[in-house]
Structures are given as C-alpha cells and as structure tokens.
Amino acid sequence: MSDLLRPEDLTKISDNEDMAKAKKAMERQRVEEEEQAGLREVFMSRDIHPEAKARVNAAVRRAAEQGNRQVLAVTFPATYCNDRGRRINNLESDWPDSLEGFAKKAYEFYMAELKPLGFKLTARRSGIRRPPPRPRCWRRRSPSRSPRSCRRDPASGAPGC
C-alpha cells in the first residue's frame, strides 16, 4: 500500500501548485507595473510635436466635415494628475493646476495657440478604473478550517486565520 498518496503528500502537492501560481501572478504584476511606469515616464517627458498646428487643423477640419463639434485631443490616466483627477472630476476652476507632464504642455499649447482663436476646452474624467480587490486574508488557512474561518472570531475579535 505504499503506492497510495497520503493526505500529507496531497497537501504538499497542492501547496507547491499554489506557490507556483502565486509566483507567476507576482511576476506578471511586476512586469505590468514596470510597463506602466515606463508609459508614465514617456508621458511626463513628451513634448508637443513640431507639426502640432497642422495636426490640429487636420483633426478640426475632419471633425467639421463629419458634422462633429468636438475633438478628443488627449487622454491619459487620472493618476497622472497630481490630485489623481479630483479637481477635474469635481469641475473645480483651478483644475489646470493639477496637470503634469504632457497634459500640462498640451494645456499651455491650447492657451497660447487655440484659445485666442475661439476654441473651447473641456476636461472630464471618463470611466474610473480601480485595481482588483485584494483578498481579505493573506495567511494560508489550515486544512482543518472552513473557508469562513478567515473572519474575525466574534468572542475575542482576533483574526481567524
């Protein structure tokens, strides 16, 4: 009967699989965070393109030909603002002060070149993306505990993990 797996062996196999999955997930998250940091750095250091006026003219002409009265000029995550987009979301009058990097340069271009010609600017936060929720308990439950054992013990208030 030594050919049969024991419960301890099964627990070890399960733990090893869980660890491998957790390592993959952590590596995936690290790579994604590095990519996001790279994108942010590019956005913050980006300058207005030398042909910006010609590009604006082409975009405005195309919009007018299609019967549109608005053009989407710049999009970026709210986290790129120094207040995470709060002033834009609340329509505060000093919202341009929250802009950083390319967004600030684009706003300055608008103020210098487009506003004097009669163009108008609106800013708004579109959908709110939040990171996925984290599990409430990070400690591993013992096999003898039920899934609900992670909650606090009502008598003592101590964590159930």
Tens of pLDDT along 41-54? 999 999 999 999 99
Residue type at 8 in one-letter notation: E
Which is more confidently placed, 152 or 16? 16
Would you say residue 27 has pLDDT above 70? yes
Would you say residue 55 has pLDDT above 90? yes
- pLDDT given for residue 126 in this prediction: 76
Query: What is the spatial distance between Cα 16 and Cα 140, in angstroms, rounded to a whole number?
Result: 13
CB 25 within 8 A of CB 83: no
5, two tokens:
């797996």
List phi, psi (to 5°) of 139: -75, 150
